[in-house]
Amino acid sequence: MDQPLILLATIIMLLPLLGAITAGLFGHRIGRNATHCITVSLVAMAFVLSMYLVKVMLLDAHPAIEGTLYTWATAGSVQFDVALLLDRLSTVMLFVVLFISLAVHIYTIGYMADDPGYQRFFSYVSLFTFAMLVLVLANNFLLLFFGWEGVGLVSYLLIGFWFNKESANQGSLKAFLVNRVGDIGFLLAIAAVLMFFGTLNYHAVFTQVPQVVSRSLALFPNYDVPVIALICFLLFIGAMGKSAQVPLHVWLPESMEGPTPISALIHAATMVTAGIYMVARMSPLFEYAPAVLSMILVIGGTTAFFLGLVALVQFDIKRVIAYSTISQLGYMAVALGASAYDAAIFHLMTHAFFKALLFLSAGSVIIAMHHEQDMRKMGGLAVHLPVTYLTFVIGGLALSAIPPFSGFFSKDAIIDAVHLSTLPGAHYAYYCVLFGAFITPLYTFRALFLTFHTRSRVEAKLRGHIHESPWVILIPLVALAIPSVFMGQMLIGPMLFAQPSLLGDSVFVLPEHNVLAQMARSYVGASKMALDAGMHLTFWFAMAGIVMAWMFIAAHPQWTEVLKRRFHWVYALLVRKFGFDDFNHTVFVKGTVELGDVCYEVSDVKLIDGVCVNGSGQAIGWLARTVRYVQTGYLYHYALSMVIGVLVFLLWFIWG
């Protein structure tokens, strides 16, 4: 049965690629309708087939299997294979990625209906899905890196899809460059794995960990670093770029320049979660690098809390959700640092549904507002967009961790897990995610009230034209709203507390790090957990965030201005996003330009032009003028020169 399953996984992986090739090469010939019919049908087929794998791998508990499609290259004893790994973790990711991708494909039919790049967009989205499936199904670091770079490349094309907009070009370039910074670390990690393990196959690497764990590498004289810690540190540098952790988070808000469907695809279940998936996949390595786990806790906690604060001062509806994504990725990273890998993947899954729901609901608002994204020009839209409003509320409640919505179960599990962790940095991370439980509903419901409630601030010429989106946009919203409500309570037990868990041995945790096992002792069921929410501080923090958003936005909006004036320095700090963009612009952008100017003036103008080109001509002219004085035309001058030359030759001959 193993080979047919690998063949099925290969077909699932290649179906979106076939759609991308068809739309990209033949889209203009076959027309718009045929393009979206083919690409949507192929992704739908892949999703249906993935459901069969869910049944076999998760429900029937089939053991993990690997299969080599072909050998790409051989270098000595090292073989570089294009091979797939089908286990519980990859199956869960297949389901999530294809579900979100299918919803986005259908949504795109309505959202991009009037865009001249219709076929090109479908080609890019399908290609993005293919690259993500390669990343998820890879059984070795080489193929993982291929999918990793694939999603990075296609995200560049999608963020800059409207290439006539300068902001889109800048956003895509920023995303591409920042991700390359993380990819340098990832590439160095792969090189270190090959150097010390002699293979790039996951299973072969993981089985050698007990032998390599005692080895160290002298980075500097008299300073040795454990090999496992170095590899994990470099791997997490790569994850920081993809999963937008501080300070490599700056690209993600700029990616809002792309069309809304791709914002949902990139920021919900695919590209930004690639780093979270990779760390969970590499858990047999990270478990032996406690210092790196502590670093992940600190970075994840910082990302979760401080980037959530930035969302409080944003007025672009998509940017609010973008900073929310960064904050939630911080929660996932905190779970990884606490060795609660199952909780990280659980939150990845629930977050995928409600965050895609929020993005696509925001897109429905943007369509109704004729592509206006500033919430200060909205208000009172609940009457005109009832379905969009309802789905946005569901997504907001799930994001705010209000029971019984899915985000409540996954986010509270992370907060409890990090509270039990004994690793250095866990206390700091705990307070960050705890206070983040207040910040998240505050910015979420601030956006909700500004957009759907309060007085209408819509321009007069638009008010009579606002109406609900067509069914092709609403169907994906309803489809995403259902798991946003029920997925958490359905899966919390199987994913976190069952023995074995839904992910089984796809992740590895040392007994001394197993905080989920401690939590399992007090777990009495999802319903009881939801009913007992009022006994926990996180629930009241979430409710306080909602109430405060209502007070400052809907009930007493003048209080907001009072706070801005009273704490103007805090407001200015948040508006400037803690100075990350200013620092990058001053040091890297402006600094690079100035360095280039200096190099141009010194090397090009002075050295090459001044010394080599002009200098050689001037030297020849000087030499010619000097030698000209020797040519006097007098015979006795020439005779004297000959005598001197003969004397010099004789002296050299005698003494030489």
Tens of pLDDT, residue by residue over 199-217, are 899 999 999 998 888 888 8
CB distance 342 to 495 below 8 Å: yes
For the four alpha carbons of 248, 254, 259 and 264, in that order, the dihedral sign comes to positive
- Band the pLDDT of 444: cuts 50, 70, 90: very high
By C-alpha distance, which of 99, 86, 33 is closest to 56? 86
Query: What's the pLDDT score for residue 412?
Result: 92
CA angle 434, 437, 438 (to 5 degrees): 110
Is residue 269's pLDDT more than 70?
A: no
Per-chain mean pLDDT for the chain: 89
> pLDDT, tens digit, for every residue of 351-371?
999 999 999 999 999 988 888
By C-alpha distance, which of 475, 515, 422 is closest to 102? 475
Whole-number CA gyration radius for the chain: 30
At position 416, the amino acid (one-letter code) is D
Query: What's the pLDDT score for residue 249?
Result: 87
Domain regions of the chain by residue span:
2-578, 579-655
pTM of the model as a whole: 0.90
Is residue 549's pLDDT more than 70?
A: yes
> pLDDT, tens digit, for every residue of 471-491?
889 999 999 999 999 998 999
* Range of weakest confidence among 380-394, 418-432, 640-654: 640-654
- Band the pLDDT of 268: cuts 50, 70, 90: low
**Nearest 10 degrees: CA dihedral of 497, 502, 506, 510?**
10
Q: Report the phi/psi class of residue 380: left, alpha or beta, with left for phi > 0 and alpha for psi in -120 to 50.
A: left
Pairwise CA distance, residues 462 & 181, whole Å: 44
By C-alpha distance, which of 47, 30, 147, 171 is closest to 104? 47
Residue of higher predicted confidence among 1 and 147: 147
Sequence-ordered list of residues with C-beta below 8 angstroms from that of 592, at least 6 positions apart, any chain = none
**Which two structure tokens, joined as six digits, stand for 450?**
């500004």
Pairwise CA distance, residues 412 & 417, whole Å: 8
What average pLDDT does this structure show over 492-521? 89
CA angle 549, 554, 558 (to 5 degrees): 95
* Range of weakest confidence among 3-17, 66-80, 92-106: 66-80
CB count in 10 Å sphere of residue 472:
15
Query: What's the pLDDT score for residue 207?
Result: 92
CB distance 26 to 59 below 8 Å: no
Among 175-184, 332-341, 584-593, top mean pLDDT goes to 332-341
By C-alpha distance, which of 317, 468, 455 is closest to 384? 468
Q: What is the DSSP string of 224-285?
A: EEEHHHHHHHHHHHHHHHHTT-TTTTTHHHHGGGS-HHHHHHHHHTSHHHHHHHHHHHTHHH
CB distance 239 to 336 below 8 Å: no
Residue of higher predicted confidence among 43 and 609: 43
422: Cα separation from own chain's centroid: 28
* Range of weakest confidence among 80-89, 188-197, 355-364, 592-601: 592-601
**Which two structure tokens, joined as six digits, stand for 454?**
């309060």
> pLDDT, tens digit, for every residue of 14-72?
999 999 999 999 988 998 899 999 999 999 999 999 999 999 999 888 898 988 888 88
Is residue 98's pLDDT more than 90?
A: yes
> pLDDT, tens digit, for every residue of 215-247?
888 877 778 888 999 999 999 999 998 888 988
Q: Quote the percentage of the chain above a pLDDT of 90.
A: 48
Is residue 427's pLDDT more than 80?
A: yes
Query: What's the pLDDT score for residue 237?
Result: 93
What average pLDDT does this structure show over 253-266? 84
